[in-house]
Amino acid sequence: MGSYFEKSGDRLQCLVCPHNCRIAEGKTGICGVRKNNGEEIELITYGVISGYSADPVEKKPLYHFFPGYKILSIGSYGCNMRCDFCQNYQISQTVPKSGHDDMPPEEIVSAALRTPKNIGIAFTYNEPTIWFEFIRDVSISARNAGLNTVVVSNGYVNPEPLKEITGFIDAFNIDLKSFNDNSYRTLTGAHLEPVLNSLKIIAGSGKHLEVTSLIIPGHNDNLGEMEKQSEWIAGELGKDVPLHLSRYYPMYKRDDPATSTETLLRLYEKASEKLDFVYMGNLHSGEGQDTKCPSCGTVVTQRSGYSTTLKNIDEGKCTGCGTLIYKYFTFSLAQER
């Protein structure tokens, strides 16, 4: 089952993510789930599920990938980052020895097919790329059943496995946690450049891409940094790539006060100078969640929480001027069953 590793002295080196862990026999890498079994790197969480739920696709968040539909979201355990603000730390920072639920790929696909108005399967909650072999097998089975697949990831993955992942995943939301390497190392124990490389690979693959930045006061709430980030996204990925600015709340080991609405709004306005689609999330109000046509300003989607109302839109195009807003708009697999 193992893949993306090589012999390194008396150890095996995992090549899935940029940590490139050199793992002694019987041990796992930083992620806690990829183990040197003496012959290969084994994924010890193959089929291991921490939870699954039919969510609005907007919750990933994906606002431009079949808006208004649902997606079966599944997760496992482990992560290759050490974010001290992680909202899912119970599953990302631990791997149970026993007592977990196992689901084979065909069972997950069957559950997705039974879910009303469902476009497919999202790999989320913990870091999906360290679950590489399992998401590959589920995704191939899902594609054969006419379903889409989504990865919600921190983007800390090496180019070769990522290029393979883009071959079987249809849409990505990547967390861009900062646009400063010092902050990245402080917040996550990882580096910025590999994440930027991942974003460019995904954009170049033609697969659907959206980006999320959780705004933490004093770390990535600088207007100048947001200007550089939005310029980079516009220039390297495309100004039509949606950017989600999410409000931070105290969680896990971090107790900084929650991001102010005023700070989030300033960053939203700055990013909107360069990007067509910028959104604000984790707010009690619906401010900054609607989609407007970048050509004529017509509101084509109204959102409140995870309630989505499509308006002034026909087959993904703005009815005001005909601009294409949503490339992925209607789903054809008996989704209304």
Q: Tell me the CA distances in angstroms from 311 to 228, 291, 308, 316, one per residue in order.
A: 33, 10, 10, 10
Secondary structure (3-state) at 130:
helix
User: Mean of the pLDDT values across residues 14-21?
Assistant: 98
DSSP string, 146-201: T-EEEEEE-----HHHHHHHHHH--EEEEE---S-HHHHHHHHSS-HHHHHHHHHH
- The pair phi, psi for residue 249, each rounded to 5°, is -125, 150
Q: What is the pLDDT of residue 333?
A: 56
Q: Hunting for tokens 């789903």 — which residue is that?
A: 331
| Beta pairing, strands 307-310 & 299-304 | antiparallel
Helix (H) or strand (E) holding 227: helix 223-232
- Beta-bridge mates of residue 8: 11
Residue 130 has pLDDT above 80, yes or no: yes
Largest CA distance in the chain: 65
* Four-CA torsion 241, 64, 60, 266, nearest 10 degrees: 50
Q: What is the pLDDT of residue 286?
A: 79
Residue 337 has pLDDT above 50, yes or no: no
pLDDT in tens, 261-295: 999 999 999 999 999 999 999 988 878 999 999 99
pLDDT in tens, 194-238: 999 999 999 999 999 999 999 999 999 999 999 999 999 999 999
User: Mean of the pLDDT values across residues 139-162?
Assistant: 97
Confidence of residue 336 (pLDDT cuts 50, 70, 90): very low
Residue 155 has pLDDT above 60, yes or no: yes
Higher pLDDT, 331 or 251: 251
Percent of the chain with pLDDT over 70: 97
User: Mean of the pLDDT values across residues 155-163?
Assistant: 98
Residue length, the chain?
Answer: 337
User: Mean of the pLDDT values across residues 41-59?
Assistant: 95
User: Mean of the pLDDT values across residues 32-59?
Assistant: 95
Q: What is the pLDDT of residue 1?
A: 44
Q: What is the pLDDT of residue 221?
A: 96
The 10 Å Cβ neighbour count of residue 334 is 9
For 61-105, the three-class secondary structure string (H helix, E strand, C coil) is: CCCCECCCCEEEEEECCCCCCCCCCCCCHHHHCCCCCCCCEECCH
pLDDT in tens, 73-117: 999 999 999 999 999 999 999 998 765 678 999 999 999 999 999
Q: How far apart are CA 223 and CA 272, in angstroms?
A: 12
Mean pLDDT of the chain: 95
Percent of the chain with pLDDT over 90: 92
User: Mean of the pLDDT values across residues 121-125?
Assistant: 98
Q: What is the pLDDT of residue 90?
A: 95
CA 61 from centroid of its chain's CA atoms: 8
